[in-house]
Structure 1
Amino acid sequence: MEEAQQKNEFWTLYTTLRRLSGKTKPISDNIRKTDGSFVRSDTERLQRWQEFFQQLLNHQK
């Protein structure tokens, strides 16, 4: 932590401090498919994001 502070690496300092204090927040990345079920694998997660942005950005005028 001292080394990170001396190098002005505040993100490293902050994350190390949070990890050592035990006050970390779990990351919630519950992504739902169009049918309402949850995505399980990384491949499905990427595919779902692709579907989402295609629907969002490629709409008919």
Structure 2
Amino acid sequence: MLRQCGPAANQSPVLDMTLERELYAAAMAADEKLSARCEQRLHEASWQDELDKMKQVVDELDTKLKYER
């Protein structure tokens, strides 16, 4: 009876495979979240570049208008 309830009983291959599957699923979910975040950051960076270009154009136009007055 002690042998069935002891640590050796918990070391079955089925439980090991279940744990491996759970770890794999958790790793894949974390990878998907990281990939989504990286992709989001890439899109944000490209918009930031566009925003910086627009700000530069507006500043140049503002400077030209000041000199024309």
- Name the TM tier (shorter chain): 0.3 to 0.5
Q: Normalized against structure 1, the TM-score is what?
A: 0.33
- Report the structure number with the largest CA radius of gyration: 2
Higher relative contact order, chain-length normalized (CA < 8 Å, sep 6+)? 1
